[in-house]
A and B are shown apart, each in its own frame.
Chain A
Amino acid sequence: MKGPLSYLQPGRNTKVSDQSETMSFIPGQPVTAVVQRIEIRKLRQGEHLILGFSIGGGIDQDPGQNPFSEDKSDKGIYVTRVTPEGPAEVAGLMMGDKVMQVNGWDMTMVTHDQARKRLTKKNEDVVRLLVTRKSLEQAVKHSMM
């Protein structure tokens, strides 16, 4: 389900900024980005609840190999693949999105395994993600101009 566009506050600091900055991460500075809220309902397949996409990245991974990130030192969690006709695609997730929050939990400074765990909690039926992508920023920029 596509949610309205909203300004985000990822990481720990909540700082709303008019100016959308790049998605790169400057240590010590709050990160601001334009995000989209996506709500995905999990699909039961056998005994697993699946979401229908794949993630890559994390603070324990090598950021230089991330094909979707702009800044090759970005260690955030990115969506690397979206299963066609899966719950994620239906909800509007696109390949290359950077996941900023999952159900309120921060995803910008987590290991790969922690991210996987946050997404695959068995007692949650729906995950609400905050994702960001380049096209969002540009859309906002254009709309402001």
Chain B
Amino acid sequence: MDNESQYSGYSYKSSHSRGSRKHRDRRDRHRSKSRDGSSRGDKSVTIQAPGESLLDAESTRGDDRDDNWGETTTVVTGTSEHSVSNEDLTRVSKELEETSPLECKRFLGPVLGGCLGLFALFTPLAFLVLPQLLWREALEPCGTPCEGLYVSLAFKLLVLLISSWALFLRPPRATLPRFFIFRCLLMVLVFLFVASYWLFYGVRVLEPRERDYRGIVEYAASLVDALLFIQYLALVLLEVRHLQPAFCLKVVRATDGASRFYNVGHLSIQRAAVWVLDQYYRDFPVYNPALLNLPKSILSKKMSGFKVYSLDENSTNNSTSQSRAMIAAAARRRDNSHNEYYYEEAEMDRRCRKRKARLVVAVEEAFTHIKRLQDDDPAASSHKHPRAVMDPREAAQAIFAPMARAMQKYLRTTRQQPYHSMESILTHLQFCITHNMTPKAFLERYVSPGPTMQYQRENGRGRQWTLVSEEPVTSALRQGLVFSLRRLDFSLVVTVQPLPFLRIGEEFIDPKSHKFVMRLQSETSV
């Protein structure tokens, strides 16, 4: 029931893999799953050496970056853009050493697939050409019907080529932990098919030097037909079967409860996991660990508790009963922590809104300082004092200073400051100025937490997720299945429910039947 290609996480490298999707060598992946100790960036559990940081680019870093740029920034000149920090260097070197051992292994699958595909495509041509080469004189001449067959053969091969290119030659986007059954099946089918055709050809045509050339051409044409049908089968199995929705997946993020519902078709667990992750990067607001917990001041009050002494002589240490007694006592106590929580939330809200108001005003005012230079006022610029003409980057730097402080304060209040560095804000500002955006459009990015996709930095390492499931991951989705996708600091829990069967009935309403009357006087006897 399993379909799908494996998607490898190294998207930039695999963009030039030409393999058809029929071929990924699963056995490699399967074997390597049991290997630990290598940090590889695909979907297996990785155990990293201690001392190495376990946080990768997606999880949040601590507050060790410079947050005070709001107070100290002035107009920044261009020198800082080209410097590479030490941090970047170590990151780049780590990337290099992680990706290089993988290259040849990753290409093994696509290359095999490509080879098989080309082999299958060239086989009919070989069938046609070999008799001509080997025993041309002995062949019976075959006129018009053969030429007709040549034409049809050529076009069918062209169609095969184009559709193979369209369907199968795509860069894979994810690496799955297990074999991809349908694809393996199709590969094996194609191989067996072509091999059996060759066998027959070798035994019946090459050996006895068959002279009926028209028969040979028809044989080649039948091979091409069969290949077209296999491709149709591949299309249906790999692409079409999962399009009709059959299940509803509920995806809940374990740390803060953000949830979504998605409709999917018949997929295997691993393929559904990939699909869910695609949607996750687009739909879920970015995970911000700073927004999670109740402040300690509220929670700590509960713990000032009772000490429980047991006066029994033969008290086996019932810790559970002790803790239960403590919890019961704490619950009975009247505590006002909900009150504090409520007021704290209200205060936080108010503060947020105030900072936001200041930010909006600052940004609006900053945007009024620049305007686009039109081509048709040279007169103005030549008469008055010549205004400096700036490119977008310089314009952004020029107007950034007045709004920097308000921006920084706002980001700090909404705990978003890890996601937006000064550089990124400048880049975004430059982008908005170039595209004539209003201040509100500029602020859209900071006012609400966007999807995780917005904060992705392109690096070839890919995102590492672990699929945790009680069932084997190549089994198909069914009702009541639960699996989870784990990252280092949060996880997504996915629950599967089938879509309800709909019984839709029909009721015909005659358009002439819409008639109305005044209400009658009703009469009641008392």
Query: Quick check: A112 and B524 within 8 Å, CB to CB?
Result: yes
Complex CA distance for A116 and B525, rounded to whole angstroms: 8
Contacts of A56 in B (CB 8 A): 521-524
- The reply on A81 being an interface residue by CB < 8 A is yes
Query: Quick check: B526 and A120 within 8 Å, CB to CB?
Result: yes
- The reply on A8 being an interface residue by CB < 8 A is no
Query: Quick check: B526 and A119 within 8 Å, CB to CB?
Result: yes
- The reply on A53 being an interface residue by CB < 8 A is yes
- Least CB distance from A114 to B in Å reads 11
Contact of B520 among A55, A65, A119 (CB under 8 A): A65
Contacts of A125 in B (CB 8 A): none
- Least CB distance from B518 to A in Å reads 5
**A50 and chain B: residue at smallest CB distance:** B526
Say whether chain B's binding surface is mostly helix, strand, loop, or mixed: loop
Query: Quick check: B525 and A112 within 8 Å, CB to CB?
Result: no
Contact of B519 among A62, A66, A81, A119 (CB under 8 A): A62
**A54 and chain B: residue at smallest CB distance:** B525
| A62-B518, A65-B518 as given contacts; A81 in contact with B526, CB under 8 Å | no
| A64-B518, A65-B518 as given contacts; A80 in contact with B526, CB under 8 Å | no
Query: Quick check: B519 and A55 within 8 Å, CB to CB?
Result: no
Contacts of B523 in A (CB 8 A): 54-56, 80-81
Within 8 A of A (CB), among B469-526: 518-526
**A60 and chain B: residue at smallest CB distance:** B519
- Least CB distance from A125 to B in Å reads 14
Complex CA distance for A80 and B526, rounded to whole angstroms: 11
Complex CA distance for A120 and B523, rounded to whole angstroms: 14
Query: Quick check: A61 and B526 within 8 Å, CB to CB?
Result: no
Query: Quick check: A62 and B524 within 8 Å, CB to CB?
Result: no
Complex CA distance for A83 and B526, rounded to whole angstroms: 10
Contacts of B521 in A (CB 8 A): 56-57, 61-62, 65-66
Query: Quick check: B518 and A55 within 8 Å, CB to CB?
Result: no
Contacts of B525 in A (CB 8 A): 50, 53-55, 81, 83
Give per-residue flags for A103-121: 1 if the beta carbon is below 8 A from chain B beta carbons, else 0.
0000000001000100110
Within 8 A of B (CB), among A35-64: 50-51, 53-57, 61-62, 64
Query: Quick check: B519 and A61 within 8 Å, CB to CB?
Result: yes
Contacts of B520 in A (CB 8 A): 61-62, 65
**A55 and chain B: residue at smallest CB distance:** B524
- Least CB distance from B520 to A in Å reads 7
- Least CB distance from B519 to A in Å reads 5
Contacts of A51 in B (CB 8 A): 526
- Least CB distance from B525 to A in Å reads 4
- Least CB distance from B472 to A in Å reads 66
**B525 and chain A: residue at smallest CB distance:** A54
Contacts of B522 in A (CB 8 A): 56, 61, 112
Most chain A beta carbons < 10 A, residue from B519, B520, B525 = B525
- Least CB distance from A27 to B in Å reads 21
- Least CB distance from A119 to B in Å reads 4
Contacts of A53 in B (CB 8 A): 525-526
Contacts of B526 in A (CB 8 A): 50-51, 53-55, 116, 119-120
Within 8 A of A (CB), among B267-316: none
Complex CA distance for A134 and B428, rounded to whole angstroms: 85
- Least CB distance from B526 to A in Å reads 4
- Least CB distance from A113 to B in Å reads 8
Query: Quick check: B519 and A116 within 8 Å, CB to CB?
Result: no
Contacts of A81 in B (CB 8 A): 523, 525
Complex CA distance for A46 and B522, rounded to whole angstroms: 25
**A86 and chain B: residue at smallest CB distance:** B525
Contacts of A57 in B (CB 8 A): 521
Most chain A beta carbons < 10 A, residue from B521, B524, B526 = B526
- Least CB distance from B64 to A in Å reads 74
Complex CA distance for A104 and B234, rounded to whole angstroms: 86
Contacts of B518 in A (CB 8 A): 62, 64-65
Contacts of A120 in B (CB 8 A): 526
Give per-residue flags for A84-116: 1 if the beta carbon is below 8 A from chain B beta carbons, else 0.
000000000000000000000000000010001
**A65 and chain B: residue at smallest CB distance:** B521
Contacts of B524 in A (CB 8 A): 54-56, 112, 116
Complex CA distance for A62 and B516, rounded to whole angstroms: 14
Contacts of A64 in B (CB 8 A): 518
Complex CA distance for A64 and B518, rounded to whole angstroms: 10
**A83 and chain B: residue at smallest CB distance:** B525
Contacts of A112 in B (CB 8 A): 522, 524
Complex CA distance for A107 and B519, rounded to whole angstroms: 20
**A64 and chain B: residue at smallest CB distance:** B518
- Least CB distance from B368 to A in Å reads 58
Within 8 A of A (CB), among B192-246: none
Q: Give 9 nearest A-B pairs by CB, closest first.
A: A54-B525, A119-B526, A56-B523, A65-B521, A62-B519, A51-B526, A56-B521, A116-B524, A54-B523
29 contacts between A and B (CB under 8 A): A50-B525, A51-B526, A54-B524, A54-B526, A55-B523, A55-B524, A55-B525, A55-B526, A56-B521, A56-B522, A56-B523, A56-B524, A61-B521, A61-B522, A62-B518, A62-B519, A62-B520, A62-B521, A64-B518, A65-B518, A65-B520, A80-B523, A81-B523, A81-B525, A83-B525, A112-B522, A112-B524, A116-B524, A119-B526
Residues of A within 8 A of B (CB): 50-51, 53-57, 61-62, 64-66, 80-81, 83, 112, 116, 119-120
**A62-B520, A64-B518, A81-B525 known, 8 other contacts, Cβ within 8 Å:** A50-B525, A51-B526, A54-B525, A55-B526, A62-B521, A81-B523, A116-B524, A119-B526
